[in-house]
Amino acid sequence: MTVPIYCNGKRILKTQNRMFDLLHVEIMEIIEKNEVGLTSGLEALLKKTDQGDYGPGGVIADIADYLKTKQEVILFADLVKKSIEINKDFFSRIEGGMHAMQSFHEELHKYAEELKE
């Protein structure tokens, strides 16, 4: 099974469940460890993309439905980047894994640039 993530209807990530779960779990740990303040939109997105709640194959989200400000998207992109750095050994062992995650991060920044401050 795969996890597709969209932005305004354009797919910006399609990855294996286990890769996305590792990314998501690490993001949640970063938030807890660093006491990162979340907007209601980011909190809702993280809940929607939690495989623990929705199970493998149950995660499908369009970030534009949740993240409406440049600040929110940049915060999420920063969390994604930190998670990628922590899990780079794992992502690198899966064919195309690191590229998919880095492209996801880049697409988040492109979306942020489209938004107003």
pLDDT digits (tens, 9 = 90+) for 32-87: 999 999 999 999 999 999 877 656 666 889 999 999 999 999 999 999 999 999 99
pLDDT of 92 strictly over 90: yes
Give the amino acid at 31: I
Q: Which domain holds residue 64?
A: 2-114
Domain count, the chain: 1
Predicted local distance difference test score (pLDDT) of residue 51:
77
Residues constituting the chain: 117
Q: Which segments of the chain does DSSP mark as H helices, in order?
A: 17-34, 40-48, 51-54, 70-86, 88-93, 97-114
3-class SS of residue 64: helix
The distance of Cα 95 from the centroid of its chain, to the nearest Å, equals: 19
pLDDT of 108 strictly over 90: yes
Mean pLDDT rounded to a whole number for the chain? 92
3-class SS of residue 92: helix
